[in-house]
Structure 1
Amino acid sequence: MAEKEIALLKTQVEKLNQKSFDLEAWKNQSLLFLNRIFGASHPIVKMILELKYDYSSWHLRDATGNEKLDDPVKMQAREILDAAIMELETLGLPGQAGAVDRVRELLQQEMTGKQWKELADILADKTENQTAEINEKLGQLSKEQLIDIVTGILNS
């Protein structure tokens, strides 16, 4: 799972409570982490980029009447990071599923239909000796097939 990434984002959530909070500095640091975790085009990254204080006259006039106890920008930032943490906890790191799918695709290309079906059955059944069974099935492949699979993995 993505324990390190989750811990990093939880640290960013804690920084929202610091007395010397600077939104721009916090955003820059958060964006560095989020870009690395999710990629620059992820909606969470875009939402953090759009965070800003509204200094329009309407906003300032409303704030002078009934002052809110919680900073709306900090609340929004917290919700965005909480969503990112939930995504990581539930779905794992982006790209992990795609990598597994790519490995399965490469194996399927190099194996006969019967070999692939037997391997897929082993992968579907979570048994104590699953690793040994997988090793046995992969051991039946030729050296060239294994080289092609590893080359495909490294190229993807």
Structure 2
Amino acid sequence: MKKQIVLMDRARMERTLKRMAIQVWERINKENEGEMVLIGLNERGEATARLLGESLEELMGTDIAVHRYDVQGKASKSSLPDCNDKFVLLVDDVIFSGKTMFSALSAVCSVYEPESIEIAALLDRGHRKYPLRTDLMGITVPTKPGEHIEVMLKDGSLSQAVLFKNN
């Protein structure tokens, strides 16, 4: 039987993403970056990026478009926005092996020349197979084999993050 533990509810996700937005804002101001491109990976990454984008809009006083990039195997069905000479923030809900993020990063770099790229994840499970690190993360939850973390959506918005444990 699988045991479920709620790691984050909606309110905690909002607080965490607001803190992450402040960190992004500080980086952009320090480095005097040009335009920012916010890309959410797949459905849950897009929902995470939308909530992060709302906090960034409040801080920056400007509209920020959130783009969705669907990573599926070696090819994607969605296209990337123009990332040339821009600060690119790749956002996912959970990062584990790094495969999804690596695929998105490779796609951006194979087509564009961004000013800089950073990686953000609401939850970091550790256990990377790919040489990636998260620049911005909400919480780190090292998992054991057989455990899984899923961010639940309700009507397309973040609802809660749940750890599924065996026994």
- TM-score in same-fold range (> 0.5): no
User: What is the TM-score normalised by the length of structure 2?
Assistant: 0.20
User: What is the TM-score normalised by the length of structure 1?
Assistant: 0.21
Higher percent of residues as strand: 2
